[in-house]
Structure 1
Amino acid sequence: MPKGQGKVIAQNRKANHDYFIEETYEAGIALKGTEIKSIRAGRVNLKDAFARIDKGEVFVHNMHISPYEQGNRFNHDPLRTRKLLMHRKEIDKLIGLTQQQGYSLVPLKMYIKNGVAKVLIGLGKGKKKYDKREDLKRKQAKRDVERALKDRY
């Protein structure tokens, strides 16, 4: 676990497969009602989630937080758009970076740090099919080397 990061609740493993992650930013997330209870229970899915800047604010879309089982009528819409809480300087920097061709904001992890839910978002450049194949070859070669070294000792 990286330094300063709390308990990881959910990870977007597909993000590293689909994007070259160039920079990461930590953001708080504005939640409603029983959402934090569902997050603490680990009922979060970041698989198809993406972030977008709209009118100077950052929002995360398609992040699924399951309704809390004991929540009754106070439950929330699982796929609602949620606001990310970031410093103005960071948002202004991201506006400039995401306007470049091929860059997008992708949620990488959700974790709880000091009792507060945080999202690690990455500035990613989309990979082409041949880039993905190259990464798979590199991973396989690394595994083979590690396996050979393990058998040797």
Structure 2
Amino acid sequence: MRIGEVARRAGVSTRALRYYEEQGLLTSERSPSGQRTYPESAVERVRMIQQFFTAGLPSRTILRILPCVDTGHGSPEIFELLAAERRRITAAMEDLAAARDALDRVVDMANHPTPEHCPALREPAWAPYDGAEATEVPTGPSRATALHA
């Protein structure tokens, strides 16, 4: 079966299939003209690889799991690897939850600013100028020109 057919039937791109091959997750034969050909079982294997990726496993971990899938026997090391991956994902979820909570606080502060969090609220937007020039208010068409003269 050619790469386009596997991709269509497995619901992935041909680029994904090439990536799987680069990572050692999938193998193909080459025709005399250099085209990839796959056995019928490649469709099911690609779907399984997709499930592993959906579960958050990196390709290096999937590569270590596939021999157990092929033989039907998991080793204690593989079960520990899966447990470690679960701990990694749980930690990442906790980090994301903390980031979300921090963002919620920022959004709340933006929606309800207080002097504690917003320096612009600590002082009035303008204050009277207490320099000597402030005693006379210029008149005429250009106050800016009179103030800078």
Is TM (by shorter chain) over 0.5? no
The structure with the greater share of residues assigned to helix is 2
The structure with the greater share of residues assigned to strand is 1
Q: Which is higher, the Rg of structure 1 or of structure 2? A: 2
Greater RCO, 1 or 2 (C-alpha within 8 Å, sep 6+): 1
Q: TM-score if structure 2 supplies the norm length? A: 0.23
Q: TM-score if structure 1 supplies the norm length? A: 0.23
